[in-house]
Amino acid sequence: MASVHESLYFNPMMTNGVVHANVFGIKDWVTPYKIAVLVLLNEMGRTGEAAVSLMERRRLNQLLLPLLQGPDITLSKLYKLIEESCPQLANSVQIRIKLMAEGELKDMEQFFDDLSDSFSGTEPEVHKTSVVGLFLRHMILAYSKLSFSQVFKLYTALQQYFQNGEKKPVEDADMELTGREEGERKMEKEELDVSIREEEVSCSGPLSQKQAEFFLSQQASLLKNDETKALTPASLQKELNNLLKFNPDFAEAHYLSYLNNLRVQDVFSSTHSLLHYFDRLILTGAESKSNGEEGYGRSLRYAALNLAALHCRFGHYQQAELALQEAIRIAQESNDHVCLQHCLSWLYVLGQKRSDSYVLLEHSVKKAVHFGLPYLASLGIQSLVQQRAFAGKTANKLMDALKDSDLLHWKHSLSELIDISIAQKTAIWRLYGRSHGGLWPRGSLAPTDGSLLLPASTMALQQAQMLLSMNSLEAANAGAQQNNTESFAVALCHLAELHAEQGCFAAASEVLKHLKERFPPNSQHAQLWMLCDQKIQFDRAMHDGKYHLADSLVTGITALNSIEGVYRKAVVLQAQNQMSEAHKLLQKLLIHCQKIRNTEMVISVLLSVAELYWQSSSPTIALPVLLQALALSKEYRLQYLASETVLNLAFAQLILGIPEQALSLLHMAIEPILADGAVLDKGRAMFLVAKCQVASAASYDPLKKTEAVEAAIENLNEAKNYFAKVDCKERIRDVVYFQARLYHTLGRTQERNRCAMLFRQLHQELPSHGVPLINHL
């Protein structure tokens, strides 16, 4: 990251090859790269306004700040940056550096003597208090403090820096020549690789204090908002290790190392870096007051609190509780109410599965408001809304609570919580409509459980689109224009599965492609789109009757979400007619989900168990199971799951021989499904309506019976169109089989033969159920 090897640095705190702990006691020191920047500044001052256009000068001014704050770069890269802004000035800088490097030591001495003239006169070229003026003064001061031997080493380093910068253009010119033999071309490529590696080694020196602080703040901001633009975990750790090699007590570097290790889920290295961060705070006295006692205690209690949060993130709840108890004890001794509020919030996170956890949460929100902690208060409200949504509270009260939290967000410019709030509203709109698990944005108080909630209703879709179109309120750093937070990943996953549910698989693939680019596999939110992608592939394989392919995807789903993986495994076993194995798996999953209060999955499992019963020709046993699912859906106000349960109840009544009651039940449940349901569910509903119409027409007079059969055929055509949208060949086969029989009843031979031929083609292509077609919903 620096321009020359560490042995050539001229830091007065380094003696006999040993770097002292307070290496950043000196604000800055002179390096060959900084001499090149000084030459650029000097040439800009000497060049008149007429020689450089207004646009070129504006580009140069924009270039200066990253050059002054950023790490040292190679001379060839510096030339390229200047040439992109102003080619004329790049040529002048190159000539000036060449004359200095190929001349004598006195040329460099004279250059630094002339720098002071920039501040002289009634109208100086540079103001002393400006950014450029402060940089010039720091360099002049640092150069004046060098001994003669250090000045000589600096000049030698400048010559080496110039020679390394001149090598690359020559090699690039050689590579452009044509007519070379293959052996010569290969040898030149090896030489080029060697020079690049030498450049990488030469950039391993220490950074100045300003450069280190800029690098750390830049990478921390990118890790939070746009991880794709940050250095890769391995590269960032390499730079941090190089930084800590020259200053092991640099606390902020240890904290960035902690964040970097969290990206790759390295619990050991994360804990190690976090403890080192707080150790360095105590050792350097960065948190201390005059007596040192308050700062020492503050570091200890927040170290314990962060350690508890770290263990909680990795699922080590017992260790997290012990660390939290230690943080509470120290905070109580110091009467630190702010720390106690954070501890109270984490107490809720650790105990949120208990029935009385909402009491802790309500107390946390009241205390946070009392002590003026808007961030904690808002997170508490968000978590309380989520907890009450799962408890089946009414949606209007939850939206009112979110409206109150939004007032806090906009008042205090809490942009991160604004994103979470919008994602939360999307989940709530979907929860009370179409519900099959719920993907909730994660905050300190509301960790993600890994399941997914899709915005099928118009309002949910509107919220997701609003979130995606929002720009972050925080200042974009280093050109990061997009906010790659978990809330954005959640919204994009919503859209991908929504399009897949409606049969728009190409659009879903485009959304997933964008997700993969925006959240690479090594990023911390990548598991969201990985699970989404696996579930879409699983559904498509099941629709297509490729059960072996769906079974191979279960392993990946289980690795990302164990509950979802077990449920999908049972679905595959059921489709493969392995009823006893599927029943055992579903019973175990049902007990587990009841224990952890996962109501949505409990209802889904009950529906699958009921389907097992009627596929085993035991529809009477399925009725109590369906009634239990319906009661849970009504209790928790899960409208769509309630409609789906009624659909299954109607099918059970059809099998039991009471199609009239089944048809009346369908009229109650079909509206939400046709309004907000997935395409597959719409097809299933219309198919069931047709079955009930045919079964009810058995006692009708011939004319009325014919009308009922024709109406059933129309509904079957609509069901077939729905199934075709999601490429569900298995259900299309069932529909055309039923249509062929109805056409035969009406005496329409040509239509019957067409449906029979299509059925035969699909039946040869797809595996058989092993059960009567009438028993398949």
The dihedrals phi and psi of 751, each to the nearest 5 degrees, come to -65, -40
Report long-range pairs for 503-511 (Cβ below 8 Å, ≥24 apart).
503/679, 503/725, 503/726, 503/727, 505/536, 505/540, 505/727, 508/536
Task: Report the C-alpha gap between 773 and 107 in whole angstroms.
Answer: 94
Angle, helices 87-102/105-115, rounded to nearest 10 degrees: 130
Query: What are the tokens at 32?
Result: 């060959």
The amino acid sitting at 617 is: S
Residues 6+ apart with CB under 8 A from 233: 260, 261, 263, 264, 522
CA-CA-CA-CA torsion sign (379, 382, 385, 391): negative
The amino acid sitting at 414 is: L
pLDDT at 38: 87
Query: What is this structure's pTM?
Result: 0.74
Q: What is the largest CA-CA distance in the chain?
A: 116
Q: Tokens 């959640």, residue?
A: 490
Q: Using the 8-state DSSP alphabet, how is residue 443 labeled?
A: -
Q: Tokens 């208060």, residue?
A: 377
Q: Using the 8-state DSSP alphabet, how is residue 474 labeled?
A: S
Task: Report the C-alpha gap between 526 and 704 in whole angstroms.
Answer: 58
Task: Report the C-alpha gap between 403 and 373 in whole angstroms.
Answer: 18
Q: Burial-class residue 503 by CB neighbours within 10 Å (0-12, 13-18, 19+).
A: buried
pLDDT at 205: 53
Helix (H) / strand (E) containing 165: helix 148-176
Averaged over successive runs of 10 residues, the pLDDT of the chain (777 residues) comes to: 33 33 53 86 74 80 82 84 84 86 85 78 72 83 86 87 71 46 42 35 57 84 81 89 83 89 87 87 56 59 88 87 90 87 85 70 84 85 82 78 83 82 80 52 39 50 77 44 75 83 89 88 85 93 89 93 94 91 94 88 93 85 92 85 89 89 86 84 92 87 88 93 90 91 90 92 73 48
pLDDT at 518: 85
Query: What are the tokens at 400?
Result: 């009112």
pLDDT at 353: 60
CA-CA-CA-CA torsion sign (63, 68, 73, 78): positive
pLDDT at 531: 94
Q: Using the 8-state DSSP alphabet, how is residue 504 labeled?
A: -
Query: What are the tokens at 566?
Result: 């077990």
Q: Which of 304, 269, 733 is nearest to 545 (CA)?
A: 733
Task: Report the C-alpha gap between 545 and 158 in whole angstroms.
Answer: 70
Phi-psi region of 747 (alpha: psi -120 to 50; beta: other; left: phi over 0): left
